[in-house]
Structure 1
Amino acid sequence: MTHPLQSIPEAFHAGRPAGITSVCSAHPIVIEAALSLGRETGKTVLIEATCNQVNQDGGYTGMTPAGFRDFVEGIAARVGFDTGRLVLGGDHLGPNPWKHLPADAAMAKAEAMIAAFAQAGFTKLHLDTSMGCRAEAPALDDAQTAERAARLARVAEDNRGAVAPVYIIGTEVPVPGGAIHALQDGVVPTAPEAVRRTYDVHERAFAALGLDDAWSRVIGLVVQPGVEFGDTEVVHFDPAGAAGLTETLADRPGLVFEAHSTDYQTAESLRTLVLAGFPILKVGPWLTFALREALYGLDAAVDILDGHTPRGRLMTAMEDAMIAAPENWSGYYAGDADALWIKRHFSLSDRIRYYWPDPRARAAVEELFDRLAGRTVPATVAAQFIPGHDVRRGDTTGHALLVGAVQDVLRIYDRATDPA
């Protein structure tokens, strides 16, 4: 059975580029928005989980790969999305969650993880073994990286289901969740010679383990196309700067590039990425940023419906949650107290997304919806407080406003991945 994503490199090399949005989030409203849009468009939906987010030990979501699959499929059943058009992906699969351990122990954990992903029906697997473990250099050389990636592919092949997985290789990506340094000087794209070296060394490593069939399903290579975002800055795609990368695809007909950290790119930049050979567009923080905007706006709108000016109860609850457990933002944000206050709530890096599962945040959101129970938000009020809301949509429910805010972003990607 041919994997649905194998048509992506085929389309690019046939001169009719078409791509797919990789939705990287575990938030139920984001996933609902993606699946509802997929039901509407009839397209395949790709939802991915990272090795830190989901693994055999639970990750920071508390979900194993099978648990995440059940979670997503439960939402699909609720919104009426056909799971036959759902692709689940595992991102940065490798020893990263256990790199504090010796290499043998960390790789054993990574092998158990990728086996769990494969057994759970994840069929897009990004192999990322570039990081050093205890007593190793922070970054491994190409040969050792490729050898470890091939080991993981061997495990995935031994545990795969009826649909043979496709693989993504390469690790030269922006910092997950956005840059923590200033971006005034831009971002340097991956050198074309690095693409050739990465591809060749992985091909040899796969062949050494008898993985020729698996190698035929390596459809993507992760490179830095020259896109990035930080707290307030966005570096937009420059096709001229990435022209050398695009040229390297000419003699690799089964391969395209996967673009990470495409959040906050313009619609035209996203479209140009697809045309330039980057048709797999990963997005995460932009989706939860839009959700946070809508939640704060809905909180203000409900105050209006209650007959008084906005009081910011949800923002106050989120501030309390972030101050009580600063580990998810303190190493990423810098500045004085005023700057940190703004970044905690409004940074494009959106570190606040890690706090929505917090009991205080959950209680505040539940209280918000209790206050809204049985009421719709007048279109004029929604347009005042929900960014991008069109007054012509009419009155609507709070839940629909949240889903719609996320879908506004996803529709930008949907149009970009179908650029004809």
Structure 2
Amino acid sequence: MSAVDLRTLAEARRKGETRGITSVCVAHPRVIRAALRHGRALGRPVLIEATCNQVNQDGGYTGLRPVDFRRMVLEIAEAEGFDPAQLILGGDHLGPNPWRKLGVDEAMAKAETMVAAYVAAGFTKIHLDASMGVAGEPEALDDETTARRAARLAAAAERAAKEAGTPTPLYIIGTEVPTPGGATHALDHVVPTSHAAAEQSIAAHRQVFAASGLDAAFDRVIALVVQPGVEFGHESVVEYAPEQARDLISMLDGQPQFVFEAHSTDYQPGGKLARLVADGFAILKVGPGLTFAMREALYGLDCIAAELDPGYGGRALADSMERLMLAEPGFWQSHYRGTPQEQHALRHYSFSDRIRYYWPHPLAQAAVKRLMQTLDGRTIPQTLVSQFLPRQADGATAAFADKLIEAAIVRVLDDYAKACEPA
């Protein structure tokens, strides 16, 4: 499947078919490996996306540039026997977000360089998101300003594809509210994007792209990011309520080029994911939900290691992560409020999973390596799996540490797969 086939999502909806695709928006190699194994087992394409903060020309928090990320994913695919023709690489929220403290000229210049780097590296699905204000601007920008800046980014992408000889990308426009990556406060409901607001966003982009000589690029816009009324906070999840999104969903009837892309679908029940796809939200983003599942498995194994090996040292992994996050609080401190005890719980267990930013750190990698070495070759008794990883306690096939971690990740991916390709 090539990236061009993503256009068939809108075609399928016009025919009354239910079809979607999961966007695995994660940079952790263990999760990527699990996603590729899962896709290979199902015989389906896999869409893997990097975000502007994870991967950019400066390295992002992973230390990877777009070309490095692509190389990493392809190396994992080769090791797992996954057909690269079935792999789609995307860039998420590509815009000035990593440089919001800069002035508009400098921030947009960096964003253009980033988008060009993604396209030149062979990424074929590009989310243009210039909706956020930079230094001296409001937090969120109006449709016309957003569209003008998106057109600048699209022009940079088109030039990069021509110069590098890579495929011209498919585009996603629009953004969701609250801000990407999970809300920072308690939630009990989220208002979906209105029909009128979604139409206005498309109209503004169409007009500006045409005025910029980018009609061909706009013809390759396949989806609009909107807020379907789903979100997760630190300790709560707002589930999809279809009746509240009816007005928004009806917009697609007059926009046959488009489907919706739904962000922050992490932690939605399987039935709600399936309803999202059936209602036209054909691209389902998931990120923190996958790394949360991985962390949950690692922490369960941390407890199991302490039970099986007295020399392991209690909760060695969790203790190492706590020391690391306290020593380098930049990724969580402005997000987690409350007492020291409440902040401790959020650092490790929040649905927003900001601990995911720390897994690439050498100290974290060393702690995980020690855990896995402690459990290497051990058949973990099902009684301990039941005690510390009860959601994985479904038989002897998950009796080794690596299998237990993969099973935790695949359990999430299975919900998405069933929603996107119903029987």
TM-score normalised by the chain length of structure 1: 0.96
Structure 1 contact 257–278 (Cα < 8 Å) conserved: yes
Aligned with residue 220 of structure 1, among 220, 223, 226: 223
Structure 2 contact 120–166 (Cα < 8 Å) conserved: no
Q: How far apart are residue 134 of structure 1 and its match?
A: 2.5
1:180 aligns to 2:181 (yes or no): no
In 2 relative to 1, CA 138–158 (structure 1 residues): closer, same or farther, beyond 3 Å? same
1:23 aligns to 2:27 (yes or no): no
> Which whole-Å CA distance do the structure 1 matches of 2:219 and 2:22 have between them?
23
Q: How far apart are residue 387 of structure 1 and its match?
A: 3.8
> Which whole-Å CA distance do the structure 2 matches of 1:120 and 1:264 have between them?
31
1:359-382 deviations in whole A, cap 9, x for unaligned?
221111111122123323233322
1:135 aligns to 2:136 (yes or no): yes
> Which whole-Å CA distance do the structure 2 matches of 1:181 and 1:236 have between them?
16
Structure 1 contact 301–310 (Cα < 8 Å) conserved: no
Question: Mean Cα displacement is larger for which, 314-323 or 357-366?
Answer: 357-366
Structure 2 contact 94–115 (Cα < 8 Å) conserved: yes
Can you give the 5+ residue segments of structure 2 that lack an aligned partner in the other structure? Answer: none
1:236 aligns to 2:236 (yes or no): no
Q: How far apart are residue 239 of structure 1 and its match?
A: 0.5
Say which SS state the counterpart of residue 89 (structure 2) adopts.
Answer: strand
> Which whole-Å CA distance do the structure 2 matches of 1:419 and 1:394 have between them?
26
Structure 1 contact 183–230 (Cα < 8 Å) conserved: yes
Partner of 2:403: 400
Q: How far apart are residue 299 of structure 1 and its match?
A: 1.5
Mapping for residues 6-405 of structure 1, pairs under 5 Å = 6-160=7-161, 161-184=165-188, 186-306=189-309, 311-394=314-397, 396-405=399-408
Structure 2 contact 3–170 (Cα < 8 Å) conserved: no
In 2 relative to 1, CA 26–305 (structure 1 residues): closer, same or farther, beyond 3 Å? same
1:23-68 deviations in whole A, cap 9, x for unaligned?
1111111101100001101111011111111111111111110000
In 2 relative to 1, CA 139–394 (structure 1 residues): closer, same or farther, beyond 3 Å? closer
Can you give the 5+ residue segments of structure 1 that lack an aligned partner in the other structure? Answer: none
Letter in 2 for 1:47: I
Say which SS state the counterpart of residue 193 (structure 1) adopts.
Answer: helix
Structure 1 contact 3–163 (Cα < 8 Å) conserved: no
Say which SS state the counterpart of residue 331 (structure 1) adopts.
Answer: coil
Structure 1 contact 173–260 (Cα < 8 Å) conserved: no
In 2 relative to 1, CA 26–2 (structure 1 residues): closer, same or farther, beyond 3 Å? closer
Structure 1 contact 237–273 (Cα < 8 Å) conserved: yes
> Which whole-Å CA distance do the structure 1 matches of 2:73 and 2:273 have between them?
26
Q: How far apart are residue 154 of structure 1 and its match?
A: 1.3
Say which SS state the counterpart of residue 90 (structure 1) adopts.
Answer: strand
Letter in 2 for 1:354: Y
> Which whole-Å CA distance do the structure 1 matches of 2:137 and 2:183 have between them?
25
Partner of 1:417: 420
In 2 relative to 1, CA 387–376 (structure 1 residues): closer, same or farther, beyond 3 Å? same
Q: How far apart are residue 310 of structure 1 and its match?
A: 8.3
TM-score normalised by the chain length of structure 2: 0.95
Question: Mean Cα displacement is larger for which, 397-406 or 14-23?
Answer: 397-406
Letter in 2 for 1:100: K
Structure 1 contact 174–261 (Cα < 8 Å) conserved: no
Q: How far apart are residue 114 of structure 1 and its match?
A: 0.7
Say which SS state the counterpart of residue 131 (structure 1) adopts.
Answer: coil
Structure 1 contact 46–88 (Cα < 8 Å) conserved: yes
Say which SS state the counterpart of residue 75 (structure 1) adopts.
Answer: helix
> Which whole-Å CA distance do the structure 2 matches of 1:178 and 1:335 have between them?
18
In 2 relative to 1, CA 309–119 (structure 1 residues): closer, same or farther, beyond 3 Å? closer
Structure 1 contact 24–283 (Cα < 8 Å) conserved: yes
Q: How far apart are residue 332 of structure 1 and its match?
A: 1.1
Letter in 1 for 2:343: L
Say which SS state the counterpart of residue 174 (structure 1) adopts.
Answer: coil
Question: Mean Cα displacement is larger for which, 54-63 or 359-368?
Answer: 359-368
Question: Mean Cα displacement is larger for which, 91-100 or 409-418?
Answer: 91-100
Identical pairs, percent: 54
> Which whole-Å CA distance do the structure 2 matches of 1:108 and 1:395 have between them?
49
Structure 1 contact 290–406 (Cα < 8 Å) conserved: yes
